[in-house]
């Protein structure tokens, strides 16, 4: 019997040890309950708030994560290039210039379906890297040519809501899902665009609740009061897991439903 719907769970930026613990505690049962075909999580802040390492990748995979996306902080650790070049489950934004190591997209086998997961990074208030719009065009065309059965989902790691919305409209009907990451604040603007792409500006943060986007509150307050770049440290408070569940029509590849969640 052919399933009429496929479910992808997208988990927002996992921050530090408390975020990893929360993912381990809550995600497996939730993914089973939702009958997820594939689970994707942004892990660029998993290693003490900045970057990701081998142990954090193993922790996410053991929690049921199938694909780990990232963003600008993935380069923070000294072994980042080696890790990106040797780990197939970890993606980095595809629009960083060549010949940097790692993959910007991959086709992954879910429980019953194939998924082309594309990782892109915005340029507004970030870095003037290659154009995410043109990069999206190139990768989507390649996937449709080489892996026509794969559902296309995009993690757009970007600062500006305007840029995220614009890219979602640009790929409407060509990707099943575009979800934003990076700001660590979950937005409430989930919607399905006219040609069927499911969109959410930001998935939110999977990290410590009593914090300033994952960082110790007293440090962030002092940084604001003094304007001195005091070293930021990840909070170790109790954490929640934020993200969204996207339900896809397997025949049309259109998004049918979007459900935001916070697990704690």
Half-sphere exposure of 40 (CA within 13 A, CB side): 32
Is 113 a known active-site residue? no
Q: Which of 26, 73, 113, 182 is catalytic?
A: 73
Nearest to 191 by CA among 175, 207, 177, 208: 177
C-alpha to C-alpha distances, 86 to 89, 186, 197, 238, nearest whole angstrom = 9, 31, 32, 32
Task: Give dist(CA 28, CA 45) in Å, integer.
Answer: 20
Residue 61 tokens, joined: 């995979």
Nearest to 136 by CA among 125, 144, 128: 144
Task: Give dist(CA 205, CA 188) in Å, integer.
Answer: 14
Task: Give dist(CA 126, CA 163) in Å, integer.
Answer: 12
- Give the number of residues written for the chain: 264
Task: Give dist(CA 223, CA 87) in Å, integer.
Answer: 36
**Residues labelled as active-site residues:** 73
């Amino acid at each position: 019997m052919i399933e009429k719907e496929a479910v992808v769970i997208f988990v927002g930026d996992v921050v530090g040890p408390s975020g990893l613990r929360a993912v381990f505690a809550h995600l497996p049962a939730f993914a089973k309950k939702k009958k997820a075909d594939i689970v994707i999580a942004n892990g660029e802040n998993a290693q003490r708030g900045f970057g990701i390492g081998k142990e954090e990748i193993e922790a996410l995979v053991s929690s049921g994560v199938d694909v780990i996306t990232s963003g600008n902080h993935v380069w923070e650790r000294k072994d980042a290039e080696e890790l990106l070049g040797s780990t197939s489950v970890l993606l980095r934004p595809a629009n960083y210039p060549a010949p940097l190591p790692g993959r910007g997209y991959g086709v992954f086998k879910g429980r019953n379906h194939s998924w082309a997961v594309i990782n892109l990074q915005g340029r507004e208030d970030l870095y003037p890297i290659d154009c995410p719009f043109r990069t999206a065009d190139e990768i989507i065309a390649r996937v449709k040519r080489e892996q026509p059965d794969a559902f296309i989902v995009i993690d757009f790691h970007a600062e500006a809501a305007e840029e995220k919305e614009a890219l979602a409209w640009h790929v409407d009907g060509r990707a099943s899902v575009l979800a934003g990451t990076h700001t660590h604040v979950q937005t409430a603007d989930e919607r399905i665009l006219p040609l069927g792409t499911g969109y959410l500006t930001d998935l939110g943060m999977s990290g410590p609740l009593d914090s300033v986007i994952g960082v110790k509150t007293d440090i962030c307050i002092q940084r604001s009061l003094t304007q001195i770049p005091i070293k930021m440290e990840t909070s170790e408070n109790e954490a929640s897991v934020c993200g969204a569940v996207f339900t896809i029509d397997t025949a049309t590849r259109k998004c049918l439903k979007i459900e935001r969640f916070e697990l704690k």
